[in-house]
Amino acid sequence: MSRQQQRSNRLSKFLAYVLGRCPDEFGLVLDANGFVTIKRLLKAINEEPNWKYVRRTHLNEIMLTLPEPSFEIRESCIRAINRNRLPKQNIVNNPPRLLFTCVRRKAHPVIMEKGITPSEYPQIILTAQKELAYRIGRRRDSEPILLTVHTGKTIQQGIFFTQCGKSIYLAERIPPGCFSGPPLPKIKSETLKKKPEETNAQAALPGSFLIDVSDTLVDRRKIKRDRRRKNAAAAKQRKQQRHHKKKGRF
């Protein structure tokens, strides 16, 4: 077996584990048919030290070179051939007291006001591990905002949690008041208000003065206007002189 075939064989076995046994370990959630997009899969496995090199071409290579690949590809999605050991999704009555999820920085203010709603997946992905929550969040934002979900308060609102493997929990939404997060950044308008005060303070210093720019602009416009009038009058005078000279010839 060549070195290339050995590499493809190792990758095929690794993908059988990721897609067919423990997708939650890598922060992946499969659909009802066991599929996940290839883009999401590659983002997840590229986070692993030994699999940073994997690209779509390596998946195609396995499909072409191995007689029995461990997965199948349909358009932009992929799933394991053997899915017998995939964990089942079950509603849990006693989830961990605290669960974590990450959101994008741009969405942080709106989410704190209106609650957490699904974005890329049909449901919100939560985990009891902060490290895994950050790992999933960094796939969409380099510096995501970590939110802490209080499951007891959420269940009181009539919302249930579905466990998906050992590490992942799903929820349809998390209402305001059922989660906490870092304070929102201060609005920059406060700093903008200080700028006029600072300029006024500078103007009040002894020996300082301000130039009235508006008066300067008016003077410049007046000078240009007078210059155009003088040039037009001089051109008209020269034209009349040439006309009189022509009449004198005849």
Per-residue pLDDT of the chain (250 residues; tens, 9 = 90+): 678 888 999 999 999 999 999 999 999 999 999 999 999 999 999 999 999 999 999 999 999 999 999 999 999 999 999 999 999 999 999 999 999 999 999 999 999 999 999 988 899 999 999 999 999 999 999 999 999 999 999 999 999 999 999 999 999 999 999 999 999 887 654 444 555 554 454 545 555 555 555 555 556 777 777 888 888 878 777 777 776 666 555 4
Contact 163, 169 (CB under 8 A): yes
Total-model pTM: 0.71
What domains sit in the chain, N to C, each tagged with a CATH number? 3-80 (1.10.10.970), 89-180 (3.20.170.30), 188-250 (no CATH)
What letter would DSSP give residue 120? Answer: S
What letter would DSSP give residue 50? Answer: G
Write the DSSP string, 175-244.
-TTSEE-PPPPPPTHHHHHHHHHHHHHHHTSTT-----HHHHHHHHHHHHHHHHHHHHHHHHHHHHHHHH
